[in-house]
Structure 1
């Protein structure tokens, strides 16, 4: 009798575990693409829940969320938009926090173009400089702030090409469409290709990347589990492995 009961439990338990697995729809800032994929894999292994990830510029996501897009978690590249989401009733109060602190880097696929101090920007010896659109991407705002801090914005403005997101900006540089560009450190952190200058953080407004649980996800256990998992040691190790700071 006992053996028969144990066999029944072995058959039922896996089915029960699967039945509780859910899905969370997450809007993720483009700079966080690769870390988010790794976190999603670890999240599934740990909880059984699936994370459906969408990547793009934070400003565009915010507009979509305002217009009723069914995202349940918003991982922005700044603090401003999650704060607005909370203030305007789109996000759940008390759920917002910084999941990563980003860093800006000037990068070129040419290993000899960029020196250790980014002096190439003052020399002007390039035809195109790629940045993310500052209207939708916080890393684009940081790029403009850096250029103004260096006093070269007006001189290089005619050479600027704007990517719709930091991902497209990276593609401009990696394919040679632009000789150099401002990208997220996380995008090249694991690579030794090309040349780079990590921009001093005093040159731009801190990139405090915040996440918030949206009202659409308030009753979804998978969404709440994702928010909790972002604070786990496992997720933090992944985030740091891409060059972000976590405090």
Structure 2
């Protein structure tokens, strides 16, 4: 191995390297013997590399609540409230694309007739029948009425963007379907169009995601009273009050 200028020659290969000149002699009062070890080599100028077993925990720079683990979370205190009958849907409309369409209906809520008509037209181009479109429109109306009766909201935020820093230092970036503000605090509601049998059991899968939303809003100065999943197909809402409303 040889170094000429900024070119390092090693085993017949040349490579350009960066180097920083320093003193070529140790200070006269440096006692190297004080640092010696069983290897017989001076530790001065050496670097130790510790072998890891690959199980080191890493912290991502950024994440989204929807990407968090879906292990069952604490659902104690949750209750199931039904506001409408089961929505019977053709099995052909069971994919993610249909779920996105259903979500669009609830996104606009009781918007202007022109906006709601655009959503209906979009659904029609995707193959939804007129009867199903009418059923979804009526489902939205029923949910909006339940929302007012249940919470007496002072304000409703739809598709509320959140950006917060977790305790581990990861940037949490996401979108909350509904934040319902009341005089006492706010409720977080997420729409889901999954085909499920047990609303309460299925709710536990999303408890971690909802907790992330709750923590983010708390960091933004909001008092969160509880979280909920709105099962759009079943016409049910699972409400879970926060044990320590903040």
Bin of the TM-score, shorter chain as denominator length = under 0.3
> Comparing both chains, which one has the higher relative contact order based on Cα–Cα distances under 8 Å and sequence gaps of 6 or more?
1
What TM-score do the two structures reach when normalised by structure 2? 0.23
Please report the TM-score for the alignment, with normalisation by the length of structure 1: 0.23
Greater C-alpha radius of gyration: 2
